[in-house]
Chains A and B, each alone.
Chain A
Amino acid sequence: MSRRTLKAVLIDLSGTLHIEDAVVPGAQEALARLRQSPVTVKFVTNTTKECKRTLFERLRRLNFDLQEREIFTSLTAARNLLEQRAVRPLLLVEDSALEDFTGLETSDPNAVVIGLAPEHFNYQTLNKAFRLILDGAPLIAIHKARYYKRKDGLALGPGPFVTGLEYATDTKATVVGKPEKAFFLEALRDLNCSPEETVMIGDDARDDVGGAQNAGMLGILVKTGKYRPGDEGKINPPPHLTCDSFPEAVNHILEHLLGSK
């Protein structure tokens, strides 16, 4: 299969470059080697709780060489969509994520944004969101995760509440995070390259690799983070490559994907 020259590499954060505050061995050097090649690098993540600055500071503390503007999150994707549509959002997101929405007008809202925000998922606030949507406000979901793991057990994610509001209003939410195609395409918007010229590296078979490949990119699945044996068999088509970790993924890119010499 012929491919155009590789121009961009999208890299997942948690589980791929680091696990909590532990760096994946060799990841910093691998990133440095990747930066010596002609590709553009972007860091992509589905966070709903952490603003870009927090993510950036953590990565700098772990000695990764990057700039804040190279980080693209599902919150950024939501903000871009709100700006494109020129709407005023009711933000059902955690306080720690609000920073990524500064500058947007939020009084007299005519759009609803739902992230992971347990303190907003109460009857009163949900009713408020419901009435806005019924009146025509678009419903934007950062992502639709069913649940996540907390220290005290499993906890409902934003997905169930988005689904409930879709049912209540007979509308469909616009989901902006992984694995939506829109997320991956939006990540490329300022890079001047197409999905066919891009590789995504991540530890989540469905959300990272499956989503990216569905958008026309090549996907490399790394066996760190949330990877479980057999994950590569759960998506169709399978990952372009499954390898041990980020450094091996970079090796593969440098050796095989940079196009004709």
Chain B
Amino acid sequence: MRMRTCVSSMAAGSSMEWLKSVKGVILDMCGVLYDSGEGGGQAIHGSIEAVKRLMDSGLIVRFCTNETQNTREKFVQKLRAMGFDISVSHVFSPAPALVRILRERRLRPHLLVHDDLMPEFDDVDTSSPNCVVIGDAADKFSYQNLNEAFRVLIGLEKPLLFSLGQGRYYKETDGLKLDVGVFMKALEYACDVQAEVVGKPSADFFQTVLNDMSLQPHEAVMIGDDLLNDVGGAQRCGMKGIQVRTGKYRPSDEKHPSVRADGYVDDLAAATDAILTNH
């Protein structure tokens, strides 16, 4: 039975009793619900059912992703086609959050983002850019495109770089691949600037989700595959963080010098068992 898997994976003496006070769950998507890759990717075993169980349980459920290879709408469409019963209004991603920021601060971006994300910026003025925005552009991270972004950035009187997330890598069906954070660091180093990160693990981003849930941090738990950006980021906001062993997880994540998850479970199904056992 799944219970056995849960218990054996926790630190000695810890039974995740704190789950009793949890009223809401925030789920990372890539690496928790599904693995991306050829043909759009595939659902992780047990995750579709797990999401349904969480939503039926009375807990408040939201989805928090740094996915920027697609608009939110297209992305949710893809997941619904896989069998996940989720709606756009419950999904939080960096691009809409950034568009709000650009508008508030009257900024015009030079965009280095995935082609499929461009529609998120349809109403944004991109002429005479006064900042640079990078997202998970995958194959668009060519030397030429990076150089172009670099030239805009270094030519600005006040170089301003926004990064949609700061992930180091993610898992696709054919292996690990470099994420936006790597190219953010590259541009930071080249121009001697520090990027503003929109999306996980920014506290503002998590707070937006919590506000939508009308919950205090201690009443919510984040479940993710990225120890630093999902779990660590959530913990820094006062939430609990559970690390799954799917997606980009690597065994060394359980021996990290500074981030210790509040629970390590095999997958979302196991996490769900643990949560519902305590409710």
Interface residues in chain A, defined as those with a beta carbon under 8 Å from any beta carbon in chain B: 118-119, 121-124, 126-127, 130-131, 134, 146-147, 153-157, 159-161, 163-170
> B residues within 8 A CB of A122?
141-143
**Within the complex, what minimum Cβ distance (angstroms) separates B48 from chain A?**
29
> A residues within 8 A CB of B191?
146
Pick from A118, A126, A170: contact of B178, CB under 8 Å: A126
> A residues within 8 A CB of B192?
146
Docked-complex contact B143 and A163, CB < 8 angstroms: no
Docked-complex contact A154 and B183, CB < 8 angstroms: no
> A residues within 8 A CB of B143?
118-119, 121-122, 156
State the total of A-B contacts with C-beta under 8 angstroms. 83
A159 to B190, CA, bound (A): 7
Docked-complex contact A164 and B138, CB < 8 angstroms: no
Docked-complex contact B154 and A165, CB < 8 angstroms: no
A119 to B147, CA, bound (A): 12
Query: Ordered nearest first, which 9 A-B pairs have the shortest CB separation?
Result: A160-B186, A164-B182, A164-B186, A163-B189, A160-B190, A121-B143, A167-B185, A118-B143, A123-B141
Docked-complex contact B190 and A167, CB < 8 angstroms: no
A167 to B139, CA, bound (A): 19
26 chain-A/chain-B pairs, Cβ below 8 angstroms: A118-B147, A121-B143, A122-B141, A122-B142, A123-B138, A123-B140, A123-B141, A123-B178, A126-B182, A127-B177, A130-B176, A130-B177, A130-B178, A131-B176, A146-B192, A154-B150, A154-B151, A155-B147, A157-B190, A160-B186, A161-B186, A163-B189, A167-B182, A168-B169, A168-B182, A170-B168
As a 0/1 sequence over residues 125 to 167 of chain B, the CB contacts with chain A under 8 angstroms (1 = contact) are: 0000000000000111111001100110010000000000000
Docked-complex contact B185 and A164, CB < 8 angstroms: yes
> A residues within 8 A CB of B176?
127, 130-131, 134
Let me know if B175 is at the binding interface, CB within 8 A. yes
Main DSSP-derived SS at the B contact region: helix
Let me know if B27 is at the binding interface, CB within 8 A. no
> A residues within 8 A CB of B185?
160, 163-164, 166-167
**Within the complex, what minimum Cβ distance (angstroms) separates B241 from chain A?**
19
**Within the complex, what minimum Cβ distance (angstroms) separates A122 from chain B?**
5
**Within the complex, what minimum Cβ distance (angstroms) separates A95 from chain B?**
15
**Within the complex, what minimum Cβ distance (angstroms) separates A194 from chain B?**
34
**Within the complex, what minimum Cβ distance (angstroms) separates A160 from chain B?**
4
Docked-complex contact B190 and A156, CB < 8 angstroms: yes
Docked-complex contact A123 and B189, CB < 8 angstroms: no
**Within the complex, what minimum Cβ distance (angstroms) separates B35 from chain A?**
16
A160 to B190, CA, bound (A): 6
**Within the complex, what minimum Cβ distance (angstroms) separates A157 from chain B?**
8
> B residues within 8 A CB of A168?
168-169, 178-179, 181-182
Docked-complex contact B142 and A130, CB < 8 angstroms: no
A222 to B4, CA, bound (A): 72
Whether A160 touches B187, Cβ cut-off 8 Å, given contacts A118-B143, A122-B142, is yes
> A residues within 8 A CB of B187?
160
> B residues within 8 A CB of A170?
168
Pick from B146, B168, B179: contact of A156, CB under 8 Å: B146
Docked-complex contact A156 and B150, CB < 8 angstroms: yes
Docked-complex contact A127 and B178, CB < 8 angstroms: yes
Docked-complex contact B168 and A167, CB < 8 angstroms: yes
A7 to B21, CA, bound (A): 74
A127 to B138, CA, bound (A): 10
Chain B residues 43 to 92 lying within 8 A of chain A, measured CB to CB, are none
Sample of 13 further A-B pairs with CB below 8 A, known A147-B150, A168-B169: A118-B143, A121-B146, A122-B141, A122-B143, A123-B142, A154-B154, A157-B190, A160-B186, A163-B186, A163-B188, A164-B185, A164-B186, A167-B185
Q: Which of B139, B185, B187, B192 is most buried by chain A, counting CB atoms within 10 A of its CB? A: B185
